Amino acid sequence: MPEVQGNRREHKRVLVSNATTVATDTDEFRGRILNISAGGAGISMDVHLLDDTRITVNIENIGIVPAKVVRQMKDGVGVKFELSEEKERQFVERITRIVEQKRKEAEGA
């Protein structure tokens, strides 16, 4: 009997809808971050980027974050952030604060 796989995500994802800019070495595209975690994001875009494409993602209140396309979605891509250990720690702290703020806003609504 095959083993049932649960959610393999390392970090909790939060649904958002934030405009972003995604850049490759040669081009820049507008997109929308659909969900985000400390490890990556789902980004809706009108362009097709191949898996393993190295990009940067401009994240509101965070800045420019290096990433790599790791999967295709219906109208965009899933990306994994590529950060040094120290930068990842700082990034996780920032994302955690944003997640907590979003939860408080949702509870107050």
Domains of the chain: 14-108 (2.40.10.220)
Q: Dihedral angle at the C-alpha atoms of 64, 67, 69, 74, nearest 10 degrees?
A: -40
pLDDT tens digits along 39-56: 899 999 999 999 999 999
pLDDT classification of 3: cutoffs 50, 70, 90: very low
Q: What is the pTM of this model?
A: 0.76
Residue 30: which of 38, 19, 41, 39 has the closest Cα? 19
Give the amino acid at 22: V
**What's the confidence (pLDDT) of residue 10?**
60
Handedness of CA 65, 35, 31, 63 (dihedral sign): negative
**What's the confidence (pLDDT) of residue 11?**
63
Handedness of CA 105, 101, 39, 47 (dihedral sign): positive
